[in-house]
Amino acid sequence: MYNRILLKLSGEQLQGQYAGGFDHARARWIAEQIKPVVASGTQVVIMVGGGNYVRGAQIAGGGIGDVTAHNAGMLATLINAITLADVFNDDGLATRALSTVEVNQFVDQYTYRRAVSHLEKGRVVVVGCGTGRPFLTTDTAAVNLALEMKCDVVIKATKVDGVYDKDPVKFTDAVKFDQLTYDEVLANPDIGVMDKAAIGLAAEEKKPMIICDLLSDGNIVRAAKGEAVGTRLVV
């Protein structure tokens, strides 16, 4: 069992059954998946993406500068952080949202000590605004936060149950890897499981990662217990 995990939830996971925006039922389902993790004594830090509202690359151009576009992307992640925290709390899972960018009117600012204090009180911590800096993604922010918060592992919950040698949606003969090294991931252009900056940082700092299917009931708790689920990325 891990002491502390970093769970990366992309915006796509939070839009659930919809084409964009926020799926309350999905959020509640995720809360139910996380409850047994917290009950077992594992602390949970969540980094949320914002692709269900806006990604920087989608709106940059046409008069919108790159930095403004990325800032808008980070604000999208903040929407997810504060709304997800509300649903979790409503569902009985004690949770606090924190933002890496100062927006004190909406939510407390992330500091390491504040996050640890919440975790030690048994609360889930959801972090919005990524790293707070443009030109990065929340995948990279997730690895960065896992390093800062000394999380034992980064769990990236996706819509497939791991990493395949080719797209399992397009190819029926796609083969799933149980384990891959970061060198193998970086050398294979067909594996687009996470952006290269995130993989590079995790490899450099020897932080293991698990890529697994969010929607498979019990996957998160199994991953948090250290059981083999999805694909494990290691040095």
List residues binding ligand UDP (CB under 6 A). 10-12, 49-51, 55-56, 70, 73-74, 76-77, 130-131, 133-134, 136-139, 141
Min dist. Cβ of residue 211 to ligand UDP (A) = 13
Residue closer to ligand UDP by CB (options 142, 203) is 142
Q: Is residue 116 classed as helix, strand or coil in its secondary structure?
A: helix
44 near 95, Cβ under 8 Å? no
177 near 89, Cβ under 8 Å? no
Residue closer to ligand UDP by CB (options 66, 204) is 66
Residue closer to ligand UDP by CB (options 33, 52) is 52
Does 10 belong to an annotated binding site?
Answer: yes
Residue closer to ligand UDP by CB (options 73, 230) is 73
Instruction: Give the bridge partners for 43, in sequence order.
Output: 4
Does 201 belong to an annotated binding site?
Answer: no
Q: List, in order, residues 6 or more apart from 159 with CB less than 8 Å away.
A: 12, 13, 213, 214, 215
Residue closer to ligand UDP by CB (options 35, 45) is 45
Min dist. Cβ of residue 121 to ligand UDP (A) = 27
**Residue of 65, 11, 54 lying closest to 214 (CA atoms):** 11
Q: Is residue 107 classed as helix, strand or coil in its secondary structure?
A: coil
Does 106 belong to an annotated binding site?
Answer: no
Q: Is residue 212 classed as helix, strand or coil in its secondary structure?
A: strand
Does 117 belong to an annotated binding site?
Answer: no
Min dist. Cβ of residue 20 to ligand UDP (A) = 11
Residue closer to ligand UDP by CB (options 194, 221) is 194
- In order of 5, 29, 118, 137, 173, the CA distances from 225 in angstroms are 10, 19, 21, 27, 30
DSSP 127-188: EESTTSSSS--HHHHHHHHHHHTT-SEEEEEESSSSEESS-TTT-TT--EESEEEHHHHHH-
Min dist. Cβ of residue 72 to ligand UDP (A) = 7
Min dist. Cβ of residue 40 to ligand UDP (A) = 26
Does 138 belong to an annotated binding site?
Answer: yes
Does 55 belong to an annotated binding site?
Answer: yes
Binding site for ATP: residue ranges?
Answer: 8-11, 51, 55, 158, 164, 167
Binding site for UMP: residue ranges?
Answer: 50, 131-138
Binding site: residue ranges?
Answer: 8-11, 50-51, 55, 131-138, 158, 164, 167
